[in-house]
Structure 1
Amino acid sequence: MTAPTTARRSRLIAGVDEAGRGPLAGPVAVAAVILNPRRRIDGLDDSKKLSERKRDALFPLIQERALAWRIEFVEVEEIDRINIFQATMAGMRRALLALAPQAELARVDGNHLPRDLPCRGEALVGGDALEPAIMAASILAKVARDRLMAQVHQDWPQYGFDRHKGYSTAAHLAALRAHGPCPQHRRSFAPVRIETEQRSLF
């Protein structure tokens, strides 16, 4: 008889994922979720494979039926200060620390684990297509960030944040050239940095 795996021994498994590492503007959102095996949630999948309507429908179900969940936003100032990778890792750790009950095992989408986790951790490449708890986390992070960027749009409508959510689309880059960066733009990202430097010359 083989010994049980770490995952089998651990009853409280948290899935961890992020949304918004690549955009030129806005925070990165990180979510951690411990699913309740007694409260099934049908339709979970990688948030990128789901329609906006489906994500919006699953969002409150996850919050209602999960044993624990947490969404953390890491703001632009911190991203620029410590870089986007470290900011994402910090957000993951904070999300896990805020869970109640605490996870016994964290499964993190990707190939890196944050330092000083409050529990054991596993990095799972492609985890948002393999682990239901990571799928749930990816949905919470994506929906929460999209909604926040729609609010950001109200303050700076000239950039079209409600449409591209801060990603480097042609329309966003054109708006950046026309209006320059706003406080929600990540100065450490090359297109924003270059635009900022060019404007400082004049």
Structure 2
Amino acid sequence: MPYEPPTHAVERSLRATTGAKVVAGVDEVGRGAWAGPVTVCAAITGLRRPPTGLTDSKLLTVKRRNELAAELRDWVTAYALGHASPEEIDSLGMTAALRLAAVRALEGLPVRPDAVILDGKHDYLGGPWQVRTVIKGDRSCVAVAAASVIAKVERDAMMAELGAAHADFAFAANAGYPSPVHRAALEERGPTPHHRLSWAYLDALPRWRHLKKVRTWPEASVPEIEGQLGFDF
């Protein structure tokens, strides 16, 4: 299906209305997985013409996505990745874990962005950055699309490496997301050290549901996360 290529329209708007000189696009991958980290990429692209075919990573074939990621790593002005582990997801909750990963990515950039374009409608990042949320930003915004492709390829590679020690789970194929093979392996072997133990999939596994971690406290607050990271905002 034909699709419109992403543009710099949102970035130009932020520059014009807020005076932001450095704008980063941010996207995540792994939110809905049963296993593995949630990964966030922050990318700064400036206003240059993007590589041909850039779009949401989910619209690309594996081959094209890998090719484009390799091109993007050299093309972007800067990028950085941040991860939140399964243990952190279980402990903090997904919203706080997403922020943890996003802060790690943004703090990994060589320059601090003046503003951030965040894919989706929910601002899980908050201050001190000025955030603009954009629904389907990974299709419409150049920097967010670049971040989506890099994040997806990097996390897929991580999951394939983890899968080498857990062949029955087929992490190289499913990247830790639900699949028939993944479910069958869970039923037979139970969760690996890379699985999220607060996830509902354990409710359907009688042999292993006793392993489920139930959080009885609210998701961690922003100050709590900042204290864990040791950042002084």
The answer to whether TM tops 0.5 is: yes
Aligned to 1:163: 173
Aligned to 1:107: 117
Map Cα deviations across residues 157-194 of structure 1 (whole Å, 9 max, x no partner). Answer: 12111111111111111110011111011001011355
Instruction: Indicate conservation of the 8 Å contact 1:17/1:138, yes or no.
Output: yes
- Find 1:121's aligned residue among 131, 134, 137: 131
Find the aligned partners of 1:5 and 1:133 in 2 and give their Cα distance: 14
Q: Which amino acid aligns with 1:192?
A: L
Instruction: Indicate conservation of the 8 Å contact 2:83/2:104, yes or no.
Output: no
Displacement of 1:97 after TM fit? 2.1
Find the aligned partners of 2:29 and 2:113 in 1 and give their Cα distance: 21
Aligned to 1:63: 73
Aligned to 2:209: 197
Q: Alignment RMSD, CA only?
A: 2.0
Q: Which amino acid aligns with 1:93?
A: V
Count of aligned pairs between the two proteins: 197
Residue segments in structure 2 that go unaligned for 5+ positions in a row: 1-11, 213-233
Q: Structure 1 residue runs of 4+, over 6 Å off? A: none
Aligned to 2:8: none
Map Cα deviations across residues 34-85 of structure 1 (whole Å, 9 max, x no partner). Answer: 0033464222100000111111111122211211100112111101101122
TM, length-normalised to structure 1: 0.89
Q: Which amino acid aligns with 1:191?
A: Y
Q: Which amino acid aligns with 1:23?
A: A
Aligned to 1:6: 14
Aligned to 2:7: none
The answer to whether residue 108 in structure 2 is matched with residue 98 in structure 1 is: yes
Residue segments in structure 1 that go unaligned for 5+ positions in a row: none
Displacement of 1:94 after TM fit? 2.0
Find the aligned partners of 1:22 and 1:109 in 2 and give their Cα distance: 15
Secondary structure of 2:164's aligned partner: helix
Find the aligned partners of 1:107 and 1:167 in 2 and give their Cα distance: 26
Find the aligned partners of 2:127 and 2:182 in 1 and give their Cα distance: 36
Displacement of 1:103 after TM fit? 1.2
Aligned to 1:37: 47
Q: Which amino acid aligns with 1:129?
A: R
The answer to whether residue 36 in structure 2 is matched with residue 26 in structure 1 is: yes
Aligned to 2:226: none
Q: Identity rate of aligned residues, in percent? A: 34
